[in-house]
Amino acid sequence: MSTELQSDALATVVQKYWGYDQFRPLQRQAMQSVLEGRDSVVVLPTGGGKSLCFQAPAMCTDGLAIVVSPLISLMKDQIDALTTCGVPAACINSSNSLQERLRVKDEIDAGRLKLLYVAPERLMMDRTLDYLKGVDVSFFAIDEAHCISEWGHNFRPEYRTLSILKSAFPDVALHAYTATATPPVRDDIISQLGLTDPEVLVGSFDRPNLFYKVDRRHDRLNQIDEVLQKHKDESGIIYCISRKNVDEISTALNARGYRTLPYHAGMTDVQRKRHQNAYMKEDVDVIVATVAFGMGIDKSNVRFVIHAGMPKSLEAYQQESGRAGRDGLDATCYLFYSGGDFSLWKKMLEQDLTGDAYDAAIRSLSAMYDFCTSIVCRHRSLVGYFGQTLDASSCKACDVCLGDLDLVDDALVISQKILSCVVRLNQRFGADYTAQVLAGSNDQRILSAGHDQLSTWGLLKSEGKQNVRDWIEQLVAQGYLEKVGEYNILNVSDEGRNLLRGEAAPRLLMPRKKKKSERTQKRVTAGQENDYDHPLFDALKGLRRTIAQRLNVPAYIVFGDAALRDMARKRPSSLSAFREVKGVGEKKAQDFADEFIAFIVKHCKKQGLTMDV
C-alpha cells in the first residue's frame, strides 16, 4: 500500500517530526506538487492523511504556509498536534486574545512560524490580506475545499470569497484538499479558486482497514451491548437518527454499567462542548450522538462506529462510518437497520423537501436501503456508488465476503406467498397487518374483517410475524412491493407481477435465529500484526490519558494507537530504542521518552517480559 520513503528532504522531515517511515498512497505526489509550486487538488478519503500533504512540505520550504480551515473549534487541536511534534504552527481566529495575536505576529515577523491556520472570513479581511502581502507566503492550503461548492454537501458561502486569492497573490500556488469524491465538486473547486493547470490527485475511496457489518435491528439495546462487549475500553461512536434515541440509548447503556455521553443539537453549547471534550480526552470511551456530532472531529483512534439506525444516504454513511480508523488500524463499522427506518426518513423528507430535491433524496435513501439489504461486498458497493471499482475479488473485510450473511434458499416461493397475500387483501393494508395475516394472527381486527378465512392466512406461520415483516421490507426495497399513500398501503408493482409468475429472483435474508455462527471478527489487515502485549497497550493508554489531561490536549495528540501498539510490541528500554517506535519523532521523544520508558520497564519487569524486542 505505502511507498517506502526515499531519503530526501520530505522523508527526513516526515521521520524527524512525525516519526513515520512510510508515505500513504498519493501523499508523496501531493507533497511534490507543493514543492514544485504547481496548483493542486487532492481528493483522499477521511483518514487518507491529507494534512500531512501540506504540513510536511511547509517544513521543507522557505516562508509561511497559510492553511484555510473552516472550523475554529478544530484549529486548536490541529495546532496542539503540530506543536507537540515540534512543528511551529499557530492560528488566528476570533477566539485569540489581542496578546495572543501579537505573539503570533511577532513569530511571523521573526520568520519562525511555518504554518498559520486561519478561517476564510478572517483571511479575507482587508487588513489580514494587506498584512500577508508583506509576508513571505510559501503557499495556500485550502482544507475541506468542497465547502466552496454548492454541489458539495457542506457549502459555506464564506469559502466563495477565496476566489480572489489568485489575483491577490498571483505568484503563490494554491492547493485544495477534500474528501468529497464527485467530479462536479472537483471541477467547481478548480474553477472557483481559479487554479492554473492543477495537478489533480484522486485516491481510492476504499478504506481497507474498515470492517463493515450490517444487520437487521431486532433488539437494538442488546445488539449494541454485544458490540460494546467486544470493544471494551476502545473509543467508539454510536449514531442515532433522533435526539430521543440518543437520550434513551445513552441512559440505558449507562444503567447497564457503561460510561457513555449523549450529544445532539438539542443540548446547550456548553453541554455539548463538555461532552465532546470528555470524549476527546478519553474520560469516556463512547459517545451516543446524532449526526450533529462529527464535523470537525478528527480523533484518530475511533475503533468502532455503530449506526443504531440507517442513515439517509450512502454519502452520510461513508462520512459517519469513515470516522472510524483514521489512524489506518483496523476498525469496525456496525449498521443496524430496519425497514421502519426507511419509512421514517421518507416521512421526514416529505416534510422538508419537494419536487426534484425530494426525488433525489428518495433515490439516495433507496440506495442506502439497497446497500443494507443487498448481498454485494460492502466495500465494492460503497466505492461503486462513488464511481470507482475495487480490484480484489473479496475484500475480506465485510460480512458479505466473509460469508456472514445467510440467504433463504426458497426466496421465490416465500415472496410469492407474501405478494399473493397482498393481492388477497385487495392491496388495501400495510406491512404490519399483512405480516400478521401471513403469520396466522387471531387479532380481533383480522377476525372481524374475516381475513382469517383467506387462503393466505397462516401461510408463513412457522416463520413468525417479525421475519415476515422483515421480508416485506426487503421486497419493498427490491421493488416488488410499493408502499403508497399516507398509510403506506402495500401494492404489488409491475416487477411484483413478474415475480408472481415466477419470473424474478428475489433475495431474502435468513431469519436471524437461523444464522450460521458468526465468523467475521477474526481479521487483521495486512501489516497490522496482533503481536503486541495487550495488557501493556491498555496500561499505556492510561498513561497517555494522564499526560493528555496534564497538557490539556486530546489523548491521541500525545501518541496515536499505532504508536502505543508499537511500543507494546517493541517495549523499548532506552532512548534509542524508543526512537525506533512508529510515530515517535524527535520532539515527542524529547518530551515523553523518560516517562514512557520508565513505565514500560516497570511493567516488563513485573510481568517478566523481554524488552527491546
Q: Which helix (H) or strand (E) holds 603?
A: helix 586-607
* Amino acid (one-letter) located at 306: I
3-state secondary structure of 510: coil
| Residue whose CB is less far from ligand ADP, 203 or 262 | 203
Identified binder of ligand ADP from the candidate list 44, 85, 477, 490, rule CB under 6 A: 44
**From start to end of 210-300, where are the E strands?**
210-216, 235-239, 260-263, 286-289
Contact 303, 324 (CB under 8 A): yes
Nearest to ligand ADP of 346, 579 (CB atom): 579
Instruction: Select from 43-51, 124-132, 210-218, 289-297 the region that touches ligand ADP (CB under 6 A).
Output: 43-51
CB closer to ligand ADP out of 20 and 429: 20
- Choose, by CB under 6 A, the member of 11, 15, 17, 20 that binds ligand ADP: 20
> Is residue 327 part of the contact set for ligand ADP (CB under 6 A)?
yes
Within 10 A of 39 (CB to CB), how many other CB atoms are there?
Answer: 23
Q: Which of helix, strand or coil describes residue 93?
A: coil
**β partners of residue 40:** 175, 199
89 binds ligand ADP (CB under 6 A): no
Q: Return the range that interacts with ligand ADP (CB under 6 A); candidates 22-30, 62-70, 400-408, 529-537.
A: 22-30
With contacts defined by CB under 6 A, how many residues of the chain interact with ligand ADP?
A: 19
Residue 228 or 547 having the CB closest to ligand ADP: 547
DSSP collapsed to 3 states, 351-383: HHCCHHHHHHHHHHHHHHHHHHHCCCCHHHHHH
Nearest approach, Cβ of residue 1 and ligand ADP (Å): 10
Q: What is the DSSP letter of 263?
A: E
In this structure, what DSSP letter does residue 18 have? I
Q: Is 325 in the site for ligand ADP (CB under 6 A)?
A: no
Among 17, 43, 47, 306, which residue sits at the site for ligand ADP (rule: CB under 6 A)? 47
Of 50 and 379, the one with the shorter C-beta distance to ligand ADP is 50
Q: Check residue 22 for interaction with ligand ADP (CB under 6 A).
A: yes
212, 378 contact by CB (below 8 A): yes
Question: Which residues face 286 on adjacent strands?
Answer: 236, 260
For the CB of residue 18, give the shortest distance to ligand ADP in the complex, in Å: 7
Per-residue contact flags (x/-) with ligand ADP for residues 294 to 313, judged by CB under 6 A: ----x-x-------------
* Residue 489 three-state SS: strand
Q: What is the DSSP letter of 308?
A: S
C-alpha cell at 516: 450460521
CB 353 within 8 A of CB 312: no
Q: Does 239 bind ligand ADP (CB under 6 A)?
A: no
Distance from C-alpha of 362 to C-alpha of 359, rounded to nearest angstrom: 5
Question: How far is 264 from 258, CA to CA, in rounded Å?
Answer: 19
Among 18-26, 149-157, 363-371, 587-595, which window interacts with ligand ADP (CB under 6 A)? 18-26
Residue whose C-alpha cell is 397487518: 433
Closest listed residue to residue 116, CA positions, set 155, 163, 79, 157: 79
Q: Does residue 207 bind ligand ADP (CB under 6 A)?
A: no
For residues 560 to 599, the per-residue mask of contacts with ligand ADP, x marking binding by CB under 6 A and - elsewhere, is x---------------------------------------
Cell of 147: 465547502
Question: Which is nearer to ligand ADP, 24 or 378 (by Cβ)?
Answer: 24
Q: How far apart are the first and last CA of the chain?
A: 25
Q: Identify which of residues 24 and 544 has a Cβ nearer to ligand ADP in the complex.
A: 24
Kindly indicate which of the ranges 283-291, 320-328, 363-371, 503-511 contains the residues binding ligand ADP, using the contact rule CB under 6 A.
320-328
Residue whose CB is less far from ligand ADP, 43 or 377 = 43
Phi, then psi, of 272 in degrees rounded to 5: -60, -45
Q: Which of 12, 29, 32, 51 binds ligand ADP (CB under 6 A)?
A: 51
48 near ligand ADP, rule: CB under 6 A:
yes
| Interface segment toward ligand ADP; rule CB under 6 A; list 47-55, 241-249, 333-341, 600-608 | 47-55
Helix/strand/coil percent split, the chain, to 5: 50, 15, 40
Give residues 461-490 in contact with ligand ADP (rule: CB under 6 A): none
Cβ distance to ligand ADP smaller for residue 511 or 560? 560
The verdict on 441 binding ligand ADP (CB under 6 A) reads no
Residue 375 in contact with residue 507, Cβ under 8 Å? yes
* Interaction between residue 49 and ligand ADP (CB under 6 A): yes
Q: Which is nearer to ligand ADP, 358 or 537 (CB)?
A: 537
In the bound state with ligand ADP, the residue whose beta carbon lies nearer, of 250 and 301, is 301
At residue 87, the 3 state secondary structure works out as: coil
Chain residues binding ligand ADP by CB under 6 A are: 20, 22-24, 27, 44, 46-52, 298, 300, 326-328, 560
